[in-house]
Amino acid sequence: MAVFTDLSEAECNQIAMAYRLGRLTSVIGIADGDAETTFLFRSERGEFIITLFESFADPFDLERAFRTMETLAAAGVPCPATFRTDAGAATITVSGKLVAVVGFVPGARPSEITTGKCHALGICVARIHQTLRRAVEAVSDELPSGAVHGAINRDNVFFLDGEVSGVINFRLRRDDVLITELAQVLLHWTAKANGALDRTLAGALLTGYTEVRSLSELEQQALPGFTMAAAAISFAQCGRFAELEDAAQCAFRSAKVVVEEMRS
């Protein structure tokens, strides 16, 4: 989140009126290093996050993200409340840019990763997978597939009192094999610098996940391989090619141990 486009008072009021936010009491730009312009609007009705999409944004993708959040919210999964215009639109155009409005999410991004947070995250990820898989009525495959968030990293998850208070940024929602995302989450949240998973953190995350959604025998067998692939991709994206092979092997071996401990 950042501020690349300033809004005039008239434009702020235009947004507030379109989404029935009530009389504005303050408008604060949020500078947080993303590619879009973001504001916190405070009004007599509450606090709202307003995003102006600086880069190309497809209204269809944003509508799909809104519908995803609405489906999850209806199932009790913590994510931002969505706001639509009187016409039911998720977006309007202001200053030549698409605008979307969601509710303020309490809490903060994690400054440290703990077993408690990993357990809570595992529960939340499983609830996302379970809810969206049910919503799209996915057919049974060898490896279960369905809708996934696409970017459950530390920038997109908020915690409050040790629990997940909100998952944000559903623009990358896609259909995929579910353990593809589970492997990515394990790597992003529990991996050490050499690619190996922290067994305690990874075990807590998997325990939380399987409390909600059980992994099939095939998924348990495949998860170490998917974790290895996630590590290879991560190291390649960072340009750490000399370390890639060892990191992928470390990820595979440690994930295999974590799965075996879960099964025992």
Domains of the chain: 9-103 (3.30.200.20), 115-263 (3.90.1200.10)
Tokens of 73: 């919210």
User: Tens digit of pLDDT for each residue in 128-154?
Assistant: 999 998 755 555 558 999 999 999 999
**Rg from Cα positions in the chain:** 20
User: Tens digit of pLDDT for each residue in 60-104?
Assistant: 999 999 999 999 999 999 999 999 999 999 999 998 999 999 999
Q: Where are the beta strands (DSSP E) in the chain?
A: 24-29, 37-43, 46-52, 91-94, 97-103, 145-148, 157-160, 163-167, 174-177
Mean pLDDT of the chain, nearest integer: 94
CA gap 114, 143 in Å, rounded? 29
Residue 33 reports pLDDT greater than 60: no
User: Tens digit of pLDDT for each residue in 105-134?
Assistant: 999 999 999 999 999 999 999 999 999 987
Q: Which residues of 219-257 are buried (b: 16+ CB within 10 A; e: fewer)?
A: bbebbbbbbbbbbbebbeeeeeeeebeebbbbbbbbbbb
Strand partners, 136: none
Residue closest to 51 by CA, chosen among 23, 78, 10, 83:
83
| pTM reported for the whole predicted model | 0.92
The pLDDT of residue 140:
54
Tokens of 31: 């500078």
